[in-house]
Amino acid sequence: QPIPKPPAKAYLGLLGHAPDLEPTLPVKSYWKLMDEYSPIYQLDLNMPLPRVFVGSRELVNEMADDSRFVKFTHRLHQEMRAVFGDGLFSAESTSLAWWKAHRLLVPAFGPVGLSKMFEDMQDISAQLIQKWDRYGHETEIECIEDMARLTFDTIGLCAFGYRFNEFYMKEPHPFMQQLWESIVESGKRANRPDLVNLAYYKDEARRQENIVKMRELCRKIIQDRLEHPKPDSKDLLNVMLHGVDKESGETLGVENVIYQIPTLLGGGYETTGSTLCFIYYYLCKNPQTMRRARQEVDDVVGNQVLTYDMLCRLKYLDAVMKEALRMQHPVSLFTRFAIKDTVIGGKYLIKEGQMLSGIWRHFHRDPKVWGEDADEFKPERMLDENFSKMPPNAFKPFGDGLRACIGRGFAEQEILIHIAMALQKFDISLVDPDHELRLKGQMGVKPVDFKIRVKRRADRG
Ligand code: HEM
């Protein structure tokens, strides 16, 4: 059966569907089309084969079958290589560079490694809590700005022992701006035909300038560690600089470590920052949930300083985090490529090399899995006893398989620490109680004009 293809509207359809996409938030166009054509449609997007979009758990479940679909690095990754080289995100799964980094870093991001990062995560979160406390409750807080500073600083300190000191500077650290600009420009380049890219030579010059500046700082961070070694630390920088991959007997090498620094920052800061904003949004919009989350923090943490052991007892907060990730994912699409001609959904032919993207907004709200109230924020469905009954691949916020997110545990721990510390100290509310989530973003999505207020809890003194 043919996969539905909406008519291309702009330029008489000669340029395919790309000009029809919403410029500030392309995923909004994908959402609209999925509402109309669910569970599958295809678009012509300047690729050899039309790109297929799916929106049901059943079809995403098929995409997770490694014998039929893989995460080939594609055009986007190729453009990103200018920024991230053969760091984890943009290296081919077949390359030794990816395997070495993967084998060395997976254990470093495991439970033992994460437990050692607890204090540094808490340190950065405490800086933000102190800043908010000094604001008082009149101040309107642009949530995404503070969350981006929090997550950027946390990766800097936990992963490379480097303090960007975001909370002590008026403007965000230049590295953040350089990274953001170069990611956005790479995304735009990936969506334009090569010939058209030639016309954007000034933007390309700016991207290259940003890359040079970022590499300078990466070299400085590495140089500093080599000149002032921390032999007792097992932080990620030490693992990357000195760890020996058991299979190849090789280290990563300084050039590759230079690529991993922006890779980890780029993969981790905006995703986690947006997720934190979405959590605040849903908590403020659902006062009962807010009360229950706060009660849990009071029961587990009370007036004490949060400890690592307390984290695993914050079950409801964990469910809040999962439910926010289900309702509003910070990345737009979950993408795979067919490694052979194959049929999905029992009737749609997918050609070898064809690109398939699962739309998070839709498969995470599939009514067959989540019921008729799938559009409602209900953390209870994420509590262990309910979560364990879910069919496979119903909830995939961190991707799947070999190339799934390496920073999952890092992000979850950082989120729990920050939300627990904030609820322990403040009453948190929306500046505009009627605010409805508005988003922007080319690849990731983040909130726009999302403002909160914090007020020291009367019962906390
Ligand atoms: C990959 C989501 C936080 C580093 C990914 C992927 C997703 C994702 C969906 C692609 C997986 C796939 O295609 O199967 C998220 C979300 C986060 C988050 C939702 C926060 C809520 C982080 C953090 C770090 C990180 C904190 C690092 C400190 C990476 C890297 C990759 C990746 C390096 C590429 C892995 C590879 O291809 O080997 N992430 N991520 N992420 N993420 Fe995350």
User: Rounded to the nearest whole angstrom, what is the distance from the C-alpha of residue 329 to the centroid of ligand 1?
Assistant: 12
- Would you call 72 a catalytic residue per the annotation? no
- Is the separation of the CB atoms in 456 and 425 below 8 Å? yes
Largest CA distance in the chain: 66
What backbone phi and psi angles, to 5 degrees, belong to 344?
Answer: -115, 155
- Is the separation of the CB atoms in 383 and 316 below 8 Å? yes
User: Rounded to the nearest whole angstrom, what is the distance from the C-alpha of residue 264 to the centroid of ligand 1?
Assistant: 8
Q: Going by CA atoms, what residue is nearest to atom 32 of ligand 1? A: 405
Ligand 1 binding pocket (C-beta < 6 A) is 71, 88-89, 102, 155, 263-264, 267-268, 271-272, 275, 330-331, 397-400, 403-407, 410-411
Nearest alpha carbon to residue 415 among 260, 235, 271: 271
Q: Among 271, 272, 275, 335, which one carries the catalytic annotation? A: 271
How does 241-252 read in b/e, with b if 16+ C-beta sit within 10 Å?
A: bebebeeeeebb
- pLDDT (tens digit per residue) in 359-396: 999 999 999 999 999 999 999 999 988 888 999 999 99
pLDDT band of residue 234 (cuts 50, 70, 90) is confident
pLDDT band of residue 219 (cuts 50, 70, 90) is very high
DSSP 444: B
- Is the separation of the CB atoms in 326 and 373 below 8 Å? no
Q: Give me the sign of the Cα torsion angle 303, 308, 311, 313.
A: negative
Q: Which residue has the higher pLDDT, 77 or 395?
A: 395
Q: Going by CA atoms, what residue is nearest to atom 5 of ligand 1? A: 405
What backbone phi and psi angles, to 5 degrees, belong to 341?
Answer: -60, 135
Measured from the Cα of 87, ligand 1's closest atom is 33
Q: Going by CA atoms, what residue is nearest to atom 3 of ligand 1? A: 268
- Is the separation of the CB atoms in 403 and 410 below 8 Å? no
pTM: 0.96
Mean pLDDT (the chain, rounded)? 94
Residues 292-299: contacts with CB under 8 Å, at least 24 apart: 292/316, 293/317, 293/320, 293/419, 293/423, 294/423, 297/420, 297/423, 297/424, 298/424
Q: What are the beta bridge partners of residue 348?
A: 344
Q: Among 405, 410, 426, 450, which one carries the catalytic annotation? A: 405
Residue 457: pLDDT over 80 = yes
pLDDT band of residue 23 (cuts 50, 70, 90) is confident
User: Rounded to the nearest whole angstrom, what is the distance from the C-alpha of residue 19 to the centroid of ligand 1?
Assistant: 29
User: Rounded to the nearest whole angstrom, what is the distance from the C-alpha of residue 443 to the centroid of ligand 1?
Assistant: 13
- Would you call 398 a catalytic residue per the annotation? yes
- Would you call 363 a catalytic residue per the annotation? no
Task: Provide the Cα torsion 166, 171, 175, 176; round to 10°.
Answer: 80
Cβ neighbours of residue 329 closer than 8 Å, sequence gap 6 or more: 360, 361, 364, 397, 445
Query: Mean pLDDT over residues 230-252, rounded?
Result: 93
Nearest alpha carbon to residue 321 among 371, 368, 372, 271: 271
Residue 93: pLDDT over 90 = no
Q: Which residue has the higher pLDDT, 8 or 324?
A: 324
Q: Which two tokens stand for residue 185?
A: 């420009």
Q: What are the beta bridge partners of residue 440?
A: 446
- pLDDT (tens digit per residue) in 257-316: 999 999 999 999 999 999 999 999 999 999 999 999 999 999 999 999 999 999 999 999
3-state SS class at 30: helix
Q: Going by CA atoms, what residue is nearest to atom 21 of ligand 1? A: 272
What backbone phi and psi angles, to 5 degrees, belong to 52?
Answer: -100, 140
User: Rounded to the nearest whole angstrom, what is the distance from the C-alpha of residue 16 to the centroid of ligand 1?
Assistant: 30
Distance, in Å, from the CA atom of 105 to the CA atom of 118, rounded to the nearest integer, reads: 17
Q: Which two tokens stand for residue 212?
A: 């040079």
Measured from the Cα of 329, ligand 1's closest atom is 19
Q: Return the pLDDT at 359.
A: 97
Helix (H) or strand (E) holding 106: helix 96-108
| Per-residue CA distances from 451 to 102, 121, 279, 315, 406 (Å) | 38, 24, 13, 27, 30
Residue 202: pLDDT over 70 = yes
Q: Going by CA atoms, what residue is nearest to atom 42 of ligand 1? A: 405
Distance, in Å, from the CA atom of 306 to the CA atom of 327, rounded to the nearest integer, reads: 28
